[in-house]
Structure 1
Amino acid sequence: MKKLGNKYIVEKRGYMKKISLTLLMACISLSFLLSFAVPGFASKMKGNISSMKIMYSYSVTKSFSERTHETIQITSVPSGEVETKDIHVRMDAKLEYTPLNIQAVVRESLNKPEESNYTSTFAGPAKGFSQRHYYLTKNYDKGRYTVIRTNKMTGAEKIYDGTYYEPSAQDPLVNWSRDEK
């Protein structure tokens, strides 16, 4: 009789695991079916961190390593001339070696994108110089991140790491010019 009681408890525990796994599979299947039945559902769920937080909790740490930059030439204006341009600049965070399933988690911890739209008048240089070159420098903070993903049901942890570039907190966009003889 005692063995039967233990056997019942063992079977009961196995049954509870099967229910949890069955529930998990049902949720995944429902999400998969909804992605086909409702076309907009998949695009709304893609990259949606709240949908990932149902099963997992995340811990993100960042470590700054250096400041990098990307310089682009906006225009060159000859001496004595004036030019007007509409400028649109956007800086987004960039990730290296980052699996798709944690990109939204990492991006959530980075600086927000920088965007600048403006119209500017560019004048040529003073006499003695042939052209003035106008530049825009995008400054990025580069570093490494570590994400610890913990499964809420099992407690199992998985560690991800990679490199990030985010718009610099100080002077993300710098305009400058240089005259040429």
Structure 2
Amino acid sequence: MKKIPLTLLIIGISITFVLSFAMPELAGKVKNDISSMKILYSYSVTKSFLEQTEETIEIASVPLGKVKTQDVNIRTDVQLEETPLNIQGVVKGNLNKPEEYKHKVTLTGPEKGFTYRKYYLTKNYDKGTYTVIRTNKITGKEKEYAGTYYEPSAQDPIIAWSRDKK
């Protein structure tokens, strides 16, 4: 087990405490920097894929013979269920990053024989479960957290498609 000098931990806590009274606007930044150093805890994260889920959004409907130009801005984000705030950053750091679809698109109506064309975007997510084991670097005490995650799918996180309707 790696030992961390107790004086370093006490100094970090003292700096945060003093700044919270003297300069409160800096206290939060220093506190976050200290916690991001992971002085007190180490983390082990395990993911298990369950299934792929999707969310489809209709972005436009264009009638026969018409053309429409449109800005399309869609984002897929990581979503967590049953996750305490103190480990959300650790879990998110082990998942796929958010994806963005930002395009200016020209959408055209359908061929003759159809009335309109509907345009869609489908966001694909990988759903799974995670387990985090948090270990106190000083005492060696472990705590386990578990929950469900949705992350942008590694393959085809966002798919654009259309359907012609009569």
Q: Given the two structures, how large is their TM-score scaled by the length of structure 2?
A: 0.87
Query: 1:126 and 1:48 mapped to 2: Cα distance?
Result: 61
Once the two structures are superposed, what CA deviation does each residue of 1:35-83 show, in whole Å capped at 9, x if it has no partner? 45141552575598624x1000000000000000111011000111000
- Closer, same or farther in 2 for the Cα pair 1:81/1:61, shift >3 Å? same
Q: Which residue of 2 aligns with 1:103?
A: 88
Query: 1:43 and 1:91 mapped to 2: Cα distance?
Result: 28
- How far the C-alpha of 1:145 sits from its partner, in A, is 0.3
Tell me whether 1:50 sits opposite 2:23 in the alignment: no
Q: Which residue of 2 aligns with 1:39?
A: 25
- How far the C-alpha of 1:33 sits from its partner, in A, is 4.0
Q: Which residue of 1 aligns with 2:3?
A: none
Match of 2:52 among 43, 67, 82: 67
3-state DSSP of counterpart to 1:84: strand
Q: Which residue of 1 aligns with 2:134?
A: 149
Query: 1:50 and 1:62 mapped to 2: Cα distance?
Result: 22
Q: Percent of pairs identical after alignment?
A: 61
Query: 1:133 and 1:49 mapped to 2: Cα distance?
Result: 48
- Closer, same or farther in 2 for the Cα pair 1:127/1:116, shift >3 Å? same
Q: Which has the higher contact order (CA 8 A, sep 6+)?
A: 2
Higher percent of residues as helix: 1
3-state DSSP of counterpart to 2:36: helix
Larger Rg: 1
3-state DSSP of counterpart to 1:65: strand
Match of 1:85 among 70, 75, 83: 70
- Closer, same or farther in 2 for the Cα pair 1:130/1:157, shift >3 Å? same
Once the two structures are superposed, what CA deviation does each residue of 1:134-175 show, in whole Å capped at 9, x if it has no partner? 000000000000000000010000000000000000110101
Q: Flag structure 2 segments of 5+ consecutive residues without an equivalent.
A: 1-5
Query: 1:91 and 1:25 mapped to 2: Cα distance?
Result: 40
Q: Flag structure 1 segments of 5+ consecutive residues without an equivalent.
A: 1-19
8 Å Cα contact 1:49-1:105 kept in structure 2: no
Query: 1:151 and 1:172 mapped to 2: Cα distance?
Result: 36
Query: 2:163 and 2:97 mapped to 1: Cα distance?
Result: 30
8 Å Cα contact 2:16-2:31 kept in structure 1: no
* One-letter code aligned to 2:28: A
Q: Given the two structures, how large is their TM-score scaled by the length of structure 1?
A: 0.80
Match of 2:159 among 166, 169, 174: 174
Number of residue pairs aligned between Structure 1 and Structure 2: 161
- Closer, same or farther in 2 for the Cα pair 1:114/1:176, shift >3 Å? same
* One-letter code aligned to 2:160: N
